[in-house]
Structure 1
Amino acid sequence: MSASPVFALRKAIRAYLLADAGFAAAFGQKLYDEAPHGTEPPYALFGEAQLRDWSADLSPGAEQLFTIGVTSTTRGLSEALELAQRIADLIDESPLNLQDHRLIDLRFLSMETRRDQNGRFARVNLRFRATTEYL
């Protein structure tokens, strides 16, 4: 059985981002499914994912809508926005290699900002759309 398209895409995105020197300088290895307790920002998190059938007559496929969030404690939103934009620029239309799947398209869709814990944390959520085919 092939790997889940969601898992395959997250694994490929993680490898791609961690291999980028600019991402590594800004985040180190701090790209998580869930941040470990006590992790100091800035860090990035894989968020919600929605998977839909995107099959054609001869090729089974999937469409994913997913979120990557950036968390910062710097006053204001400037650091979180800058770091989020770095991720959006890196991932949008990137040539990722997925296990058991072929990436057809990967697009940045939108960005949303918010503050948590009485303004202590600045958060930026990036939303993407990806389409894949099973190999």
Structure 2
Amino acid sequence: MSDALSLPVNPLLALRAAILTVLGGDAELGRLMGGQVRIHDEPPRGAAPVYALFGPAEMRDDSVDGALRHTHRLGLILFARPGSSRGAIEAAGRAAALLHEALLSPAGHSLSVLRVESLACARDERSGETRATLTLQAVTERLSTGSGATP
């Protein structure tokens, strides 16, 4: 297995940053999220929904013929106000439309494919908040270092 954590730019972090760039620049998604796109690593204290968190993520080595490739499966979880699933579903739908087969440019990598695998919705019994979860699949490949050698 390749040592992805020691790469110049971690493929998963590069992919997340590219996703943030695309989603963060979309005015319609910002409107659906209450005025601005809010995507976090951890739940923000005291923040009112609609906001999003990066959810579970998995990156696997998929190297072939000297090309350092990785497959990714990652979640983006959108939270809506209690009693309103519509906000989370609309924001998740907009994010899905922006990301499905998008031509992102993760730093240090090329993106072969990015697909929305699923959009699932569930209500938290305790808080009443609806969570819409986008599950994304992607394949990245490390860009050549320019030395002509493959990693």
Q: TM-score, normalised by structure 2?
A: 0.84
Give 2:40's aligned amino acid. Y
After superposing on structure 2, the runs of 4+ consecutive aligned residues of structure 1 that deviate more than 2 Å are none
Give 1:73's aligned amino acid. R
Return 5+ residue gaps in structure 2 as ranges. 1-6, 144-151
Larger-gyration structure (1/2): 2
Alignment of 1:89-108 (within 5 A): 89-108=97-116
Cα offset, 1:16, TM superposition: 0.8
Task: Provide the C-alpha distance between the structure 1 equivalents of 2:57 and 2:86, rounded to a whole number of angstroms.
Answer: 26
State how many pairs are aligned: 135
Task: Provide the C-alpha distance between the structure 2 equivalents of 1:20 and 1:111, rounded to a whole number of angstroms.
Answer: 19
Cα offset, 1:13, TM superposition: 0.4
Report the secondary structure of 1:81's partner residue.
Answer: helix
1:62 aligns with 2:67: no
Equivalent of 2:92 in 49, 73, 84: 84
1:2 aligns with 2:2: no
Cα offset, 1:21, TM superposition: 1.3
Task: Provide the C-alpha distance between the structure 1 equivalents of 2:127 and 2:95, rounded to a whole number of angstroms.
Answer: 23
Cα offset, 1:11, TM superposition: 0.5
Give 1:24's aligned amino acid. G
* Structure with a larger share of its residues in strand: 1
Cα offset, 1:83, TM superposition: 1.1
Cα offset, 1:89, TM superposition: 0.7
Assess if the C-alpha contact under 8 Å between 2:101 and 2:114 holds in 1: yes
Report % sequence identity.
Answer: 33
Task: Provide the C-alpha distance between the structure 1 equivalents of 2:47 and 2:125, rounded to a whole number of angstroms.
Answer: 16
Give 1:68's aligned amino acid. L
Moved more, 108-117 or 48-57: 108-117
Q: TM-score, normalised by structure 1?
A: 0.93
1:38 aligns with 2:84: no
1:20 aligns with 2:50: no
RMSD: 1.3
Report the secondary structure of 2:83's partner residue.
Answer: coil
Moved more, 124-133 or 21-30: 21-30
Return 5+ residue gaps in structure 1 as ranges. none
